[in-house]
């Protein structure tokens, strides 16, 4: 073989060696970068309550807006009173409290998707010390926040947040005034705890937000505003919403407010300054408005009775019609005749519901206008455009989710939520133990002692044997019934019968020093 055939394949110099050290360094750097990205991902996604993590997740579109929950689809939780909240969070050490606060904020940001345990909800009665508008520099960038003090346990302060759009803030400023009472109940409110702060003097400051984000209106005022879930959170602002200096100034102003509200001379009755007795219910309350239910076409009559009543005619006589059938319908007045004359054959369910609201009734109707009647718009416009006079907020008012004359959800007979059904003989036990956060319904026979537009005062009706042997409920029991908007209270002197399918819902039972029981109930039946 010719040796010159592969002469150009021989190297001209020394062979090159691979830089193994450099490649080792590069591989180690890549491994470290991979570990850093992996750990950073766990850090960012696992701790969205940190401001930097929240901002990065927002840019990556991995953060969902806080959503509105329904009362029946809310996360499982436990309802804690002011004392229980204070005992739970005051016993934690600083590191444990910080870890707990991170968990509470993380659950709220994640819309309670990955909750370990039960969500804490606040129940109890609180008094507003001060309310302020939220801005871009706050954690919640729009709405109102109230600093309140627990009525039954002064060692707990509550920050109740009301997120809302900017157009709702002016009405909220007029409503959420100093001295207004907030009533959070298990059956109607879901205010979740999202932060807890232990103050230097041993008190605990809780931050809570309502997960229902409902609509609210004032019973003795104008307008209605709705809460909206916050679109964005400014976590850089930090917790709580009322900083130390703001909280101290609010407490000083509230102490001045309470001092000015007292009589100039304690124990002395001055002309024109006598203390007024506390009303049974607040004159002006902020109530949550439930979504309107669809009115169905009735089969027989367009009027729905709010309760089963047995009328007691003044003359003791019963009128008969031409066919000899007994009729308990009273003689229609001139306004009722004009209202009936305005009815037309083209009926709509909403028009018939409006007719049943505005038609005057002195006793239950046995035979009424046919179901094909409808109310013309001219008959209801004057009623809808007559506003109620606005009243100033005083210390006797209460902020709650239910009140007489307001709107709340009603149910068909026998379709109300599950609860405990009691009679008037069990009211003493309820007054001693309390409602304990459960639904309690009342049934029985009652006599109407007093009735007005949306409220009635009843007394338990007892038979002759019970009166002689002193059995059943005592005569010192008084039932105060509140009816929603559109309902008419039963006439005075009539007998009201509420059975297992149509009970009243008990909202509160108060026992006075003289043994008098004041039972507050509300109408929830359609």
CA–CA dist 397, 218 (Å, integer): 11
pLDDT digits (tens, 9 = 90+) for 496-514: 999 988 999 998 888 877 7
Most confident of 281-295, 374-388, 511-525: 511-525
Q: Say what the pLDDT of residue 401 is.
A: 43
Per CATH, the number for 410-522 is 2.40.50
Query: Does residue 429 or residue 303 have the better pLDDT?
Result: 429
Confidence bin at 476 (pLDDT 50/70/90): confident
| Gap between the Cα atoms of 380 and 377, Å rounded | 6
From CA 267, how far away is CA 386, in angstroms rounded? 42
Q: CB under 8 Å to 183, separation ≥6 — which residues? A: 125, 126, 398, 399, 400, 401
Of the ranges 28-32, 261-265, 375-379, which is most confident?
A: 28-32
Nearest CA-CA partner of 158 in 242, 102, 222: 242
Per residue in 158-208, pLDDT (tens digit) is 999 999 988 889 888 888 888 888 888 887 788 999 999 999 999 999 999
Rounded to 10 degrees, what is the CA torsion of 266, 269, 274, 275? 30
Query: String of b and e for 194-233 (b: at least 16 CB within 10 Å)?
Result: bbbbbeeeebbbbbbbbbbbbbbbbbebeeebebbebeeb
Q: Rounded mean pLDDT of the chain?
A: 74
425: pLDDT confidence band, cut at 50, 70 and 90? Answer: confident
For residue 503, which of 428, 390, 426, 419 has the smallest C-alpha distance? 419
pLDDT recorded at residue 410: 87
Distant-in-sequence, close-in-space partners of 523: CB < 8 Å, separation ≥ 6 = 306, 307, 410, 481, 482, 483, 484, 487, 504
Q: What is the pLDDT of residues 452-463, one digit of tens each?
A: 778 888 989 865
Nearest to 437 by CA among 70, 77, 72, 117: 77
**Least confidently predicted of 67-76, 215-224, 385-394, 413-422:** 385-394
The domain spans of the chain are: 77-261, 410-522
Rounded average pLDDT over 302-324: 43
- Rounded to whole angstroms, how far apart are CA atoms 217 and 292? 14
pLDDT of residue 303 exceeding 70, the answer is no
pLDDT at 131: 94
| pLDDT for 415 | 86
| Residue-level pLDDT at 8 | 55
Give the model's pLDDT for residue 186.
84
Is the pTM above the cut of 0.85? no
Say which residue the tokens 């024109």 belong to.
272
Rounded to an integer, the average pLDDT of 337-354 is 40
- End-to-end Cα, the chain, rounded Å: 113
Residue 30, pLDDT above cutoff 70:
yes
pLDDT digits (tens, 9 = 90+) for 438-447: 789 999 999 9
Residue 320 has pLDDT above 50, yes or no: no
Which pLDDT score, from 0 to 100, does residue 472 have?
43
Q: Is the pLDDT of residue 362 over 50?
A: no
Give me the sign of the Cα torsion angle 386, 389, 393, 398: negative
Q: What is the dihedral of CA 402, 406, 408, 411, to 10 degrees?
A: 120
pLDDT at 2: 60
Query: Residue 305 above 90 pLDDT?
Result: no
For tokens 């007489």, what's the residue?
404
pLDDT band, very low/low/confident/very high, at 71 (cuts 50, 70, 90): confident
pLDDT of residue 475: 54
Mean pLDDT of 61-86: 90
Confidence at residue 139, expressed as pLDDT on a 0 to 100 scale: 95
């Amino acid at each position: 073989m010719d040796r010159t055939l592969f002469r150009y394949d021989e190297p001209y110099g020394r062979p090159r060696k691979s830089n193994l050290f450099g490649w080792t360094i590069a591989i180690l750097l890549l491994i470290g970068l991979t570990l850093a990205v992996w750990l950073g991902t766990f850090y960012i996604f696992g701790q969205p309550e940190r401001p930097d993590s929240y901002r990065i997740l927002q840019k990556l579109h991995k953060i969902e807006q806080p959503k509105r929950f329904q009362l029946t689809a809310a996360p499982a939780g436990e309802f804690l009173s002011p004392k229980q909240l204070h005992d739970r969070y005051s016993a934690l050490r600083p590191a444990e409290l910080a870890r707990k606060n991170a968990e509470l904020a993380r659950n709220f940001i994640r819309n309670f998707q990955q909750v370990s345990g039960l969500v804490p909800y606040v129940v109890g009665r609180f008094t507003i010390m001060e309310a302020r508008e939220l801005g871009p520099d706050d954690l919640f960038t729009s709405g109102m926040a109230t600093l309140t003090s627990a009525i039954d346990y002064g060692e707990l302060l509550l920050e109740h947040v009301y997120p809302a759009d900017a157009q709702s803030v002016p009405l909220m400023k007029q409503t959420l005034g100093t001295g207004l009472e907030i009533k959070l109940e298990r059956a109607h409110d879901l205010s979740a705890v999202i932060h807890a702060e232990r103050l230097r003097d041993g008190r605990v400051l809780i931050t809570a937000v309502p997960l229902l984000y409902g609509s609210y209106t004032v019973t003795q005022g104008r307008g209605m505003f709705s809460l909206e879930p916050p679109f964005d959170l400014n976590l850089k602002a930090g917790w709580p919403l009322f900083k130390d200096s703001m909280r101290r100034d609010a407490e000083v102003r509230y102490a001045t407010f309470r001092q000015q509200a007292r009589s100039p001379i304690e124990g002395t009755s001055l002309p024109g300054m006598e203390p007024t007795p506390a009303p049974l219910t607040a004159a002006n309350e902020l109530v949550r408005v439930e979504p309107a239910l669809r009115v169905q076409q009735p089969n027989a009559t367009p009027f729905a009775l709010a309760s089963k009543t047995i009328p007691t005619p003044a003359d003791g006589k019963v009128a008969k019609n031409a066919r000899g059938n007994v009729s308990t319908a009273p003689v229609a007045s001139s306004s009722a005749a004009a209202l009936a004359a305005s009815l037309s054959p083209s009926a709509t369910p909403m028009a018939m519901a409006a007719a049943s609201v505005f038609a005057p009734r002195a006793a239950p109707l046995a035979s009424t206008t046919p179901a094909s009647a409808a109310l013309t718009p001219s008959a209801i416009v004057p009623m809808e455009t007559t506003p109620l006079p606005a009243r100033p907020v005083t210390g006797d008012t209460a902020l709650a989710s239910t009140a007489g004359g307001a709107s709340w959800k009603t149910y068909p007979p026998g379709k109300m939520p599950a609860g405990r059904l009691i009679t008037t003989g069990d009211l003493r036990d309820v007054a001693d133990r309390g409602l304990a956060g459960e639904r309690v319904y009342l049934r029985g026979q009652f006599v109407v002692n007093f009735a007005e537009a949306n409220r009635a005062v009843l007394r338990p009706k007892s038979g002759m044997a019970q009166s002689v042997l002193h059995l059943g409920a005592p005569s010192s029991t008084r039932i105060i019934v509140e009816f929603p908007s559109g309902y008419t209270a039963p006439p005075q002197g009539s007998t009201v019968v509420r059975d297992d399918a149509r009970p009243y819902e008990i909202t509160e039972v108060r026992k006075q020093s003289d043994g008098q029981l004041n039972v507050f109930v509300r109408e929830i039946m359609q």
